[in-house]
Structure 1
Amino acid sequence: MSLTVFLAVLAAAFLHASWNALLRLGGSKIQAMAMLSCTEIVIGLAIVASRPLPAPGAWKWLAATTVAQVAYKFFLARAYEEGDLSRVYPLARGTAPMLVALVTAVFALDHIAATGYLGIAVLGCGILFMARGVFTDGESRKMLPFAAGSAIATASYTLIDGIGGRVSGDVVAYVGWLLLFSGAGFAGGMVALRGPGLIRGQSARAWLTAGLAATISYIAYAVSIWAMTRAPIALVAVLRETSILFAVLIGWLAFGERMTRAKALAAGLIVAGVVMTRI
């Protein structure tokens, strides 16, 4: 992985943590995710109108990732309704790189050096240690199944989009169609289940926040998929999980969540794992 790709993925990780923090603002997280998805439709339409169509082979991957992305949004929003950013985020994001590495190794999708796998293992230990508070600090465990569902969906769309982006011929267009399909799928599904009142009559500030989160999300994901066309999918997926470190810092500084010694140690393991993936 080149230094340019490395730094680009780190920036994408920070942006990913930032839009998750924006989702934590306000009341219903399902409502916030539905509004974000509505603005994703607008962004997606603007992108696809100015880009050529993806290669024919990309459409099956777009269909598959739409299902995975809609599931991811639902599980993530429900998890945030039950837990803090600094706990949900590590659980939701943390196991995905291990799943991705396992699949890429079994199916020989990419070559990863031994130090890369060792870095993945160290990072995984840091992530698990970061999430331990849900079991030891008396925090709500209701978000566990939703966080697990989000992790599985994350691993699924990471693999799908790593391949889809490579065959699309245009990563920007690919992500534009992804936003359009997944935004329509989630927003339409939630409005059908909960009624149009879910998004009707919301303030301009709420829509501005949703639009900002959607824009940041698009930039972060477009950079990540681009990186997957330049470096092994599993290593990019692992490096993206440094967003966990950013999320913990945002939770501490912006939301007043506790910064304990255990969190600091876990953050150190995460950084060590990232460094090892660069060796």
Structure 2
Amino acid sequence: MSIEITVLILLAAALHAGWNALIKISGDRIAVMAVVTLAGSMLSLLALPFVDSPDIASLPLLALTILIHTGYHFFLPIAYDHGDLGQVYPIARGAAPILVTLGALIFAGEQISQMALIGVLCLAVGVMALAFDGRKPGRINPRAVFFALATGVCIAAYTIVDGLGARQAGSILGFAVWLTIGDGILTFLIALLWKRREIVVVVKTNVLTGFAGGAMQVSAYWIIVYALAVAPMGMVSGLRETSVLFAALISTFVLKEGFGVWRFLSASLVTFGLIISRSKT
């Protein structure tokens, strides 16, 4: 994996942690997610004239990933209703790298080196450990864990489908733009049936937050879809999970959730995994 792709993935990770923090702190979380994804769709529509349409062969995968992303958009805010950013985010992200690596092996025949595999394992263990802060044993809500794990399954599933779809699409960015248009509109329409009043409140009070979140969300998606098309899926997913480090900083300095020895050690393991996952041996 080239240094340029690595830097792009780390940028996407920072953007991803940022919009997740906005979902956590900005009001009714499903309503905020609906506004964020709709804003992302509107920004994607602006980009539509400048990208090629995805090949027709990729459309079934495009439809499938839109559905998976939409499920993710609901599981994540529900998890945040029951748990802290510093706990939910690592559980959701930590389940993905191993699942993606296995899925890429099974469905795409993709191989990675033993050192890269060790790096992915370190990343997964590190981000999962971040959720179980030893200073707060008993603070984990079972519902938060359930919905965070469901979010992680969605992440793993859409990562694999995005990678396969982008490789078939002919136009990587075209696939990404169509994806963010479709999942944003579908998420908003479903949420509108459920949270109409709350969405109106968000639009009146937090519309700028919604557009900021939407810009970060689609930018992160576009970068990752591009990376999935040109680099090994397992390694991309592993590097992407360094967003947990950015979320840990937000959790500590913005949300004041604390950053003790346990989280420091977990974050160090994530960093070690990042270094090892880029090894070519």
Task: Tell me, yes or no, whether TM beats 0.5.
Answer: yes
**Matches of residues 33-52 of structure 1 in structure 2 within 5 Å?**
33-52=33-52
Deviation of 1:42 after TM superposition, in Å, equals: 1.0
Structure 2 residue aligned with 1:174 = 175
- What is the root-mean-square deviation of aligned Cα atoms in Å? 1.6
Deviation of 1:9 after TM superposition, in Å, equals: 0.8
Structure 2 residue aligned with 1:162 = 163
Say which SS state the counterpart of residue 179 (structure 2) adopts.
Answer: helix
Structure 1 residue aligned with 2:197 = 197
8 A Cα contact 1:79 1:147, kept in partner: yes
Moved more, 44-53 or 23-32: 44-53
Which consecutive residues of structure 2, in runs of 5 or more, have no partner in the other structure?
none
Moved more, 263-272 or 182-191: 182-191
**Matches of residues 1-279 of structure 1 in structure 2 within 5 Å?**
1-133=1-133, 136-194=137-195, 196-203=196-203, 206-279=206-279
Say which SS state the counterpart of residue 230 (structure 2) adopts.
Answer: coil
| Cα offsets for 1:123-143 (capped at 9, x unmatched) | 222122212139824233321
| Cα offsets for 1:48-102 (capped at 9, x unmatched) | 2333311111211110001100110100010111111111100011111110111
CA gap 1:107/1:177 in 2 versus in 1, 3 angstroms: closer
| Cα offsets for 1:142-171 (capped at 9, x unmatched) | 211110110000001000001111121222
How far apart are the structure 2 equivalents of 1:34 and 1:72? 12
Identity of aligned residues (%): 31
8 A Cα contact 1:88 1:143, kept in partner: yes
How far apart are the structure 1 equivalents of 2:9 and 2:194? 36
8 A Cα contact 2:44 2:218, kept in partner: no
Give 2:9's aligned amino acid: V
TM-score, normalised relative to structure 1: 0.95
Give 1:46's aligned amino acid: L
Say which SS state the counterpart of residue 81 (structure 1) adopts.
Answer: helix
Which consecutive residues of structure 1, in runs of 5 or more, have no partner in the other structure?
none
Give 1:83's aligned amino acid: G
Give 1:168's aligned amino acid: A
8 A Cα contact 1:43 1:176, kept in partner: no
Say which SS state the counterpart of residue 27 (structure 1) adopts.
Answer: coil
Deviation of 1:26 after TM superposition, in Å, equals: 2.3
8 A Cα contact 1:67 1:182, kept in partner: yes
How far apart are the structure 2 equivalents of 1:193 and 1:221? 26
How far apart are the structure 1 equivalents of 2:25 and 2:201? 18
How far apart are the structure 1 equivalents of 2:265 and 2:170? 42
8 A Cα contact 1:41 1:179, kept in partner: yes
Give 2:185's aligned amino acid: A
Give 2:276's aligned amino acid: M
8 A Cα contact 1:133 1:139, kept in partner: no
How many residue pairs match? The answer is 278
How far apart are the structure 2 equivalents of 1:224 and 1:52? 18
Give 1:183's aligned amino acid: G
Say which SS state the counterpart of residue 200 (structure 2) adopts.
Answer: coil
Deviation of 1:201 after TM superposition, in Å, equals: 4.6
Moved more, 118-127 or 99-108: 99-108
Deviation of 1:203 after TM superposition, in Å, equals: 4.9
How far apart are the structure 2 equivalents of 1:137 and 1:264? 20
How far apart are the structure 2 equivalents of 1:87 and 1:9? 22
8 A Cα contact 1:34 1:187, kept in partner: yes
8 A Cα contact 2:66 2:183, kept in partner: yes
